[in-house]
């Protein structure tokens, strides 16, 4: 009898965690892992690449380092669509592959909310390539300032004041002195503006904590426009609304970090979804498709406390990876599945290297202790996808890094 054919799409937090868990089990399965790149990247550190704080290699490692060739065939390719009824997946270069069980873990994309000009002029930060592009773009603008003396080349607008935006601004403000020196641009003429539609900043934290974080950024010279929804982007202008009036900021660097949705493959494949996230069953399968697990940012799981889906995070993606592997094993063995449950351990937002704010297991943290906790959480995640060897090789036990 041929082995059961398990296909995993996506080698992010959810996909790699599921892979490692399946590889460690004694099951009569063949695993195929499909991922766009030959490397895994830690999406939670993309802002460090976008701000130029660290090279991409620092937050990525080769997928082959976690693949057991005897059990897993890795295909580097881009998924085009899942034919859920035929149980096949179409790939860009390698044609069509079939599956008995599928784990779909294709992650997130930038959300434009249909705002004019975002796709053309907003710089997203959703993978290594786009994050490197943000850094390279900013450096080019500084060079252009020296040629033209046009100050809009020194103006940066960060759209949105969520987690990603704040972490990027935190790191960017720390990198700025180095950039100023390298490109010989006037520090006093550089302007970083953050524009947010909602009226409160970092609402996931107590006000005392969010005020602490925002004050640090203000002291580093960042301007915040709050309760001011963005209406349009052009090549060098961000147009927003304030008290019913349209206003604008000139900027040649416009970073778009207002939010994310799941992979568009979800919608293209005909799954019932909202913002490309499927409300999965309690075993993490898609409704009506007991052989298709959907995990990570492509899935939605209800939080009974808030009656809203849990926010998509690496923390939940990692836990789903293990749960999907266990439930797949249960299905193969005919044993009972375990409903997925999740309790957040907390959240820490970096304000740049040794500054952070966070709430962990009910305790509020700020400053250096919060930044150490952030690094511990990151190292724990890396250990879960890459193992101890990769974590040590990356020099990740240094809390001043
Ligand atoms: C700057 C930033 C900071 C963050 N900070 C935190 C934090 O502090 N804590 C936290 O818990 N979460 C944080 N998040 C959110 C977290 O990164 C995501 O929730 C998490 O990455 C989701 O994991 P995933 O496995 O679903 O997807 P991903 O990590 O996005 O992985 C998806 C994988 O699929 C691959 N892929 C995508 N499309 C295709 C395709 N068509 N074909 C083949 N392969 C494809 C991608 O290349 C990638 O390898 C942060 C996110 C960002 C951007």
Domains of the chain: which residue ranges? Answer: 4-36+77-110+260-344, 118-255
What CATH number should be reported for the domain whose range is 118-255? Answer: 3.50.50.60
Q: Is 43 in the pocket of ligand 1 (CB under 6 A)?
A: yes
Q: Give the mutation target among 19, 34, 107 for probing the ligand 1 site: most ligand atoms within 8 A of CB.
A: 107
Residue 391: predicted pLDDT: 86
Phi first, then psi: give them for residue 304, nearest 5 degrees.
Answer: -65, -20
> How many whole angstroms from 50 Cα to the centroid of ligand 1?
15
What is the CA 231 to chain-centroid distance, rounded? 24
Q: Is the CB of 283 under 6 A from ligand 1?
A: no
Mean pLDDT of 382-398: 83
Which atom of ligand 1 is least distant from the CA of 374?
Answer: 8
Q: Does residue 311's CB lie within 6 angstroms of at least one atom of ligand 1? A: no
> Tell me, what's the pLDDT at 398?
65
pLDDT at 401 over 80: no
Instruction: Using the predicted structure, report yes or no on whether residue 82 has a pLDDT greater than 90.
Output: yes
Say how many C-beta atoms besides its own lie within 10 A of residue 15's C-beta.
28
Per-residue pLDDT, 215:
96
Burial class (CB in 10 A: 0-12, 13-18, 19+), 41: buried
Per-residue model confidence (pLDDT) at position 397: 66
> Relative to the CA of 260, which ligand 1 atom is closest?
53
pLDDT(4) > 70: yes
What's the CA-to-centroid distance between 180 and ligand 1, angstroms? 31
Task: Give the Å distance between the CA of 352 and the centre of ligand 1.
Answer: 20
pLDDT confidence tier of residue 362, bands split at 50, 70 and 90? confident
Q: Which of 86-90, 148-152, 207-211, 377-381 has the lowest mean pLDDT?
A: 377-381
Predicted confidence (pLDDT) at residue 400 exceeds the cutoff of 60: no
Collapsing DSSP to helix, strand or coil, 26 comes out as: coil
pLDDT value, residue 2: 82
Ligand 1 neighbourhood includes 81 CB (under 6 angstroms):
no
Tell me if domain 4-36+77-110+260-344 and domain 118-255 are identical in fold.
yes
130 CB within 6 A, ligand 1: no
Q: Tokens 């997203």 correspond to what residue? A: 124
**Rounded to an integer, what distance in angstroms lies between the CA atom of residue 186 and that of residue 183?**
9
Give the CATH fold of the 4-36+77-110+260-344 domain: FAD/NAD(P)-binding domain (3.50.50)
Index of the ligand 1 atom closest to the CA of residue 41: 49
Active site residues: 167
The pLDDT of residue 399 is above 70: no
pLDDT band at 392 (very low <50, low <70, confident <90, very high): confident
């Amino acid at each position: 009898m041929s082995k059961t054919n398990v296909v995993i799409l996506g080698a992010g937090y959810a996909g790699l965690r599921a892979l490692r868990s399946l590889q460690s089990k004694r099951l009569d399965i063949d695993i195929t892992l499909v991922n766009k790149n030959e490397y895994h990247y830690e999406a939670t550190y993309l802002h460090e690449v976008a701000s130029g704080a660290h090279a991409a290699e620092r937050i990525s490692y080769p997928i082959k380092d976690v693949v057991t060739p005897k059990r897993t065939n890795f295909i580097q390719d881009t998924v085009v669509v899942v034919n859920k009824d035929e149980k096949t997946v179409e790939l860009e270069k390698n044609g069509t592959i079939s599956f008995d069980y599928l784990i779909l873990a294709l992650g997130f994309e930038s959300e434009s909310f249909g705002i004019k000009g975002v796709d053309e002029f907003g710089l997203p930060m959703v993978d290594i390539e786009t994050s490197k592009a943000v850094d390279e773009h900013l450096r080019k603008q500084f060079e252009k300032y020296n040629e033209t003396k046009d100050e809009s080349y020194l103006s940066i607008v960060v759209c949105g004041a969520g987690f990603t935006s704040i972490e990027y601004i935190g790191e960017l403000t720390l990198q700025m002195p180095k950039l100023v020196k390298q490109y010989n641009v006037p520090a006093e003429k550089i302007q970083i503006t953050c524009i947010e539609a909602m009226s409160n900043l970092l609402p996931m934290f107590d006000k005392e904590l969010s005020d602490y974080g925002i004050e640090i950024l203000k002291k580093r010279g960042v301007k915040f426009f709050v309760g001011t929804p963005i209406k349009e982007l052009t090549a060098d202008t961000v147009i927003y609304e304030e008290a019913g009036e349209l206003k604008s900021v000139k900027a040649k660097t416009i970073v778009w970090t207002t939010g994310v949705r799941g992979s568009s493959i979800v919608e293209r494949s005909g799954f019932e979804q909202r913002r490309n996230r499927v409300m999965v069953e309690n075993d993490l399968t898609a409704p009506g498709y007991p052989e298709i697990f959907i995990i990570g940012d492509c899935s939605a799981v209800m939080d009974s406390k808030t009656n809203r889906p849990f926010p998509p995070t690496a923390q939940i993606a990692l836990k789903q990876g293990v749960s999907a592997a266990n439930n797949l094993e249960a299905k193969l063995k005919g044993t009972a599945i375990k409903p997925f449950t999740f309790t957040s351990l907390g959240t820490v937002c970096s304000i740049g290297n040794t500054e952070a704010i966070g709430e962990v297991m009910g305790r509020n943290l700020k400053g250096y202790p919060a930044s150490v906790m952030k690094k511990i959480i990151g190292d724990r995640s890396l250990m879960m996808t890459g193992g101890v060897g990769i974590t040590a090789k990356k020099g990740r036990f240094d809390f001043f890094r």
